[in-house]
Amino acid sequence: DMETIGVAYFDAPVTGEVQRGSEGTLVTMVGGDSDRFTEYAWIPSAFSRSVVRGGASGNGALLKTLNNMIANVTAMASMEGIILARAAGIDEDVLLEVFNSGVARTHFSSVRYPNHIATGAFDHGFPLGLVNKDLGIAAESADMLHADPIVFRAAHKLWNAALDDFGPKGDTTRVIDVVARQTVGRPWSELATHVESR
């Protein structure tokens, strides 16, 4: 019993990508004993702009998993919109202006796509193997909750297809080719118009 020997356990994953890590502005999600949380919150506060307690032990990790799940599912929706716009011949700058000016704005449409795909670089630096590991954890979490998130399951299949096509070290941005072939039956290279990095 950890309580008896004076040990406190917290799961405390972070989110914010490499840039926020180097800036010390991550968000830390903590699961664990509420009575001991305030005593130790100073530790993640040293490298986080926000430290949130998600409840019981394990909930910090669950929040991290769900955060990754949502990010990767919304990325798929953004990709489909961008692919359909490009298939219709809509100019790159126009679609980005529209999508990023309102409710369609996502991290993918505002950061990953313009800086790592539209440039033709495919250099975000996050490997498909890690994306699929994260999504596998999300699938296990859904199973443990006896849930069947159908939008997530569909997106997970496409991420798995990208892993098959580009391997575990392939850049996460390569998934757009799988989504393009699935959505309009053509590879991304036929739709892309490369623009300067923003």
Find the DSSP H helices in 54-197.
59-87, 92-99, 107, 128-144, 150-166, 175-184
Give residue 18's pLDDT.
76
List, in order, residues 6 or more apart from 135 with CB less than 8 Å away. 68, 69, 72, 152, 155, 156, 159
Task: Give pLDDT tens digits along the chain (198 positions).
Answer: 555 677 778 999 999 877 788 888 999 999 998 888 888 899 999 999 999 999 999 999 999 999 999 999 999 999 999 999 999 999 989 999 999 999 999 999 999 999 999 999 999 999 999 999 999 999 999 999 999 999 999 999 999 999 999 999 999 999 999 999 999 999 999 998 654 433
CB-based contact 75:106 (threshold 8 Å): yes
Whether the CA torsion 140, 142, 143, 144 is positive or negative: it is positive
What pTM was estimated for this model as a whole?
Answer: 0.88
